[in-house]
Structures are given as C-alpha cells and as structure tokens.
Chain A
Amino acid sequence: MTQTLPRISAYGDHALQIQYDVDGFSTAINDAVHTLAAQLKTDENWIDIITGYDSLVATFNSTALTIDSAKRKVEDTLIRTPQSASPQTQNRLIDIPVTYGGACGPDMGNICQSSGLNEQAVIEKHAAQIYRVCMMGFLPGFAFLSEVPKALHHPRHANPRAVVPAGSIGIANWQTGIYGLDSPGGWQIIGRTDQVMFDKTRKTPSLIQAGDRIRFIPQ
C-alpha cells in the first residue's frame, strides 16, 4: 500500500481538515483516517475529532492552540507514527432486514431509471454484497457504508427532503447509508429497515459502530 500524506487545511478559525486525495472509496484510506483519529484523541486540546470517508475534521480549544500550532501537531503525529499500523479489527457482521421499494423506498424509480435495471435487479445488486461501516454521523445512528455496485451510483436530490423516516436506506453517488432518526436528508431512498438504529436507553445507543460489516436482507 502506498501511503500519501494528507493535505491539512484550516476550516474556519477553530478547526482543521485533514484530507486524503482519493478518487471514490478506498478501504486503506478509511483505515488511515481512523488510525489518525485514534492518535489525535489522546491529546485533550482537541474538542471534536470527526472522521469522514477520506477526511477528518478536528476542532480545537482556541485558547490553547492556533491554526498554525494545531497544524504542526497533526504533522508531528503523521510523521511519528506509521499510518497503516492499526487498521480496524472490529469485524462484527450485522444483518439488517430491509423492505425495498414502494412507500419505504420512494426513490427506487430513480435508481431503476438511471441503472436501466428493474426493481428486482436493483434489490439483488444492493443486497448482494457486504458493506463496511466507514463512519457514523450526520445524526445519531446514521451509518455511512462503503461503495455500492457501479450501476447503482446516483446523485443526491438537488433539494433535500424535509423529513426522511428513521431506518431509511439511501444512496448518494457511490455511498449507501442508513438513516438513524427521522431527519431532513437528500439521499435517494430505496428501502427501510424496522431495526431501531439509535436508542438512548441502550448501553450502546447506536446499533452499529464504525468498523462493523453490514448485510442487507430483503424482506
């Protein structure tokens, strides 16, 4: 694996973005993002360390750090430690039952149209592979999963919906994901699960964690 150093840039006056250059999805890059996040989390001057697919945003306590000193801290961390050292080892496989299409998947027609496949073929393609949970976020319980088969790639809605129901399964470009709560959203919704993705009374509120593997089971 060739490891390029990421670009570090200011994000406003109290955060940095650390961006790896990658076209599409790369497991190796996502590993590097999570490894760097774990290393930065040992320093208490950072407030939020938020991982993306190919980038990481770190907000800092501006009474302790400046943009420049924060940049140096990240550079030091990157130089000091081999980035491929600890890929995520957590490998739970979680089955998610999904009702595809119909009222649960109002955008199924869009995917059929752009892919030239019928609904059954779209469902088979989407459920055929095991996905990796690359990041959690957007809202509590929302799981961002790895790449969908090429035929299913589809852009987001230009104007996001005001309410997408909890458990909805969506596609945005090459990404697929599960909505954890009723929320606004711009993804193409193709199905819904009745699993409760986020429950504050559970010991671990989120049903799934970054690093898990997900298998969709059509109902």
Chain B
Amino acid sequence: MITVLNGGTRTTLQDDGRAGHRDKGIPTSGAADRLSFAIANFLVGNRWNMPALECALGGLHLRFEQAVTIAVSGAEMWGQINGQNFAINRALHVEKGDILTLSYARAGCRAYIAVAGGLSGETFLGSQSTYIPAGLGGIEGRAVKSGDKLSIAGAAPYGPQSLPNGYAPQLSKHIILRTRPAPEWDWLSLEGKRFLFTTPFYATDATDRMGSRLKGDKITLNHSQPMVSAPLIPGSLQIPPHGQPILIGIDGHCTGGYARALQVIQADIWLLGQIAPGSGISFRRCFAENAPKILASRHAFYNGLIPNFRF
C-alpha cells in the first residue's frame, strides 16, 4: 500500500492504454511517454505495460506503507527519498514509512513511478489508464490526490534490473519530432510548409495529455474550403484557420475539424509525453522508406532488454 501525501500538478495511473476504441470516441490514453514508462517497469522487474504512476511537472509526495522496489524514469525531476537525492533510471528499495518527493522537471515533463508488482486501479475497456475528461480507469477516473491509498497489484515476475548505458532517453527542453505528411498537407501554403520545417515552435500553457497548442510563425492555408470533421490520431499536427498549430496527444480527440498537416512517426510518439509548457518543438521530415526502418531498429534495440515493448 502507498499513501498519496500530495498529488502534485497532475499524477495519474497509466498502463499501455485502450487502443481500438477511437470509433466510439474513446481516446487511446495510456502512458504519454511509453518508453520511459516501459523502462520504469523494466527496472522493478515488471512486464513493461503494468500500471504505474505518471507525474506531470512534479509536486508528488508518496509514503510507502510497506517495503518495496520502485523506479523513477522519464522527466529529470528533483527526486528525494526521506530528503536524500536519488538517481532516476535505477531500481530503488524503499522501506515502510519512506517518503518520496518529486519536484521541478528540469528537462521533460512526465516522470513514471513504477512499483514492483504494479499498481492497481479501475479497469475500463481492458485498460486501467486514467482518462480524466470522462472519468475512466485509474483511481476513480481522476488524478490522484492527498489521502488516496494505492494498492500494489501483486508480485513482480522478475527481480530488480539495471539499465545498461545508452538505453536511457536523453531529454531536452527542445524536442525534435520526425514527421510524415498527414491527409491535408497539400492545403498548406508554400510558406506554411517551409515555416513548419524551418522555424521553432513553443508549447503554450494549453499543453496537457490531450494535446499542445503551439505558438510560432503563422502557418497559412491555401485551401479556403471548410473542412468536414474527420478522424484524428495521436501525433497529428492540426492547423486551425488562425494558423497556430495544435499537436494531438495520447488523450487527444478522436475526430477533428482542422486541417491535419503532419503526423509524428510512430518511433517518436513517446516524445509527446515530454512536452511541457514552454518546451521548444521542431518538426523534421522523415522519408517514407526510413520511417519503418527507424521503428524496426528502435524495436530491435529495446526488445533486447524489454521483451514485447512496442512504441
């Protein structure tokens, strides 16, 4: 059992999500940064997709009511156990009564706290991932708050692990996303297309698991016909008529009515989870033939360590 002393900015229970229900309007959800989430689970000896806490921007205080192995991965936060700094991406043994605090993300946005055996929440459509707008999954479908008691689901299938050099993702305050064209790419003006790949954008305060409104050079459209609402997937970059792009997140809308200009390649979708308000974002072109190669090599690299992990 773990007691939440302070829920922080926004901390939710997440697993690998409920893909396959977007036609009913149910977003994918799940860990916004699947890679860091998988690494945290790997370190404590869990299967990669067992439910863990996702803490956005810090402020989380937990008290462990039993001795257990934990690991923190993802955003570089100032993390302490009983006032002593600890390193991320490492399995840690905590005793009954130990207090973990996470504050201020120096780089990235979301930290993952995995507990050996996994945490236990409500299941909706086969997933325990929290989706706050509809109150689905997790702890009563909401962010955790002080006084919550989180139960540990069982025992971890493996013992604590360590992460070899080179496997920890390097996060920065400027995120580069590789993209392929999305269906309305050709609606963009020539300058719009050029600006998207040559000028930086910044995530505004309207940045959360649903998506991120960006600020940067105005992206204009050549196409004046109104758009009919059409399906949308996480990682799509939409261009509304006012020209400031919206990047769709893992909890993002299932359909949208703005031009879909770019789509982040699958191997880079995990980076969406590390966009914080104020983060810089640059888009890069990825050639069609390279995207599957990048994904295959990233899967091969991580699957050597974390079986069955999928970006």
Binding site for B on A (CB under 8 A): 9-15, 17, 19, 37, 47-57, 59, 62-63, 66-67, 135-142, 144, 155-156, 158-160, 162, 172-173, 175, 177, 180-184, 186, 198, 200, 206
Closest Cβ–Cβ distance, residue A170 to chain B (whole Å): 11
Are B254 and A137 in contact, with the CB atoms below 8 A?
Answer: yes
CB–CB A139/B20 < 8 A: no
Contacting residues of chain B (41-83) with chain A, CB-CB under 8 angstroms: none
Known contacts A10-B180, A12-B182: A137-B266 contact under CB 8 Å: no
Contacts of A59 on B, CB cut-off 8 Å? Answer: 19, 233
Instruction: Find the residue from A37, A51, A57, A206 having the highest chain B CB count within 10 A.
Output: A57
Partner of A62, one of B133, B183, B288, B292: B292
List the 3 closest A-B pairs by CB distance, nearest first. Answer: A12-B263, A50-B231, A13-B291
Q: How far is the CA of A181 from the CA of B254 in the complex (A)?
A: 13
The residues of A that contact B23 with a CB separation of less than 8 Å are 37, 48-51, 135-137
Give complex CA distance A8, B179 in Å: 19
- B-chain residues with CB within 8 Å of residue A177 when the two chains form the complex: 229
Stretch at the interface among B4-12, B102-110, B113-121, B134-142: B134-142
Whether the pair B134, A181 counts as a contact (CB closer than 8 A) is yes
Q: Mark B18-43, 1 if CB is under 8 A from A, else 0.
A: 01111111111000000000000000
CB of B203 to closest CB in A, whole Å = 16
B302 within 8 A of A: no
- Whether B266 lies near A14 (C-beta < 8 A) is yes
Q: How far is the CB of B205 from chain A (nearest CB, A)?
A: 11
Q: Which residue of A lies closest to B206 (CB)?
A: A162
Query: Is B215 located at the chain interface by the 8 A CB criterion?
Result: no
Q: Are B226 and A139 in contact (CB under 8 A)?
A: no
**Are A54 and B228 in touch, CB under 8 angstroms?**
yes
Among B241, B255, B260, B299, point to the contact of A50 (Cβ < 8 A).
B255
Decide: A139 near B291, CB < 8 A? Known: A12-B182, A47-B20: no
Please determine whether B254 and A138 come into contact, CB atoms closer than 8 angstroms. Answer: yes
| Chain A CB within 8 A of B187 CB | no
CA distance A200 to B132 in the complex (A): 12
Does B92 have its Cβ within 8 Å of any Cβ on chain A?
Answer: no
Sample of 22 A–B contacts (CB below 8 Å): A10-B181, A12-B180, A19-B183, A37-B23, A50-B23, A50-B233, A50-B255, A51-B231, A52-B228, A52-B255, A55-B230, A56-B231, A57-B230, A57-B231, A59-B19, A66-B292, A67-B288, A136-B24, A137-B229, A139-B133, A156-B257, A181-B134
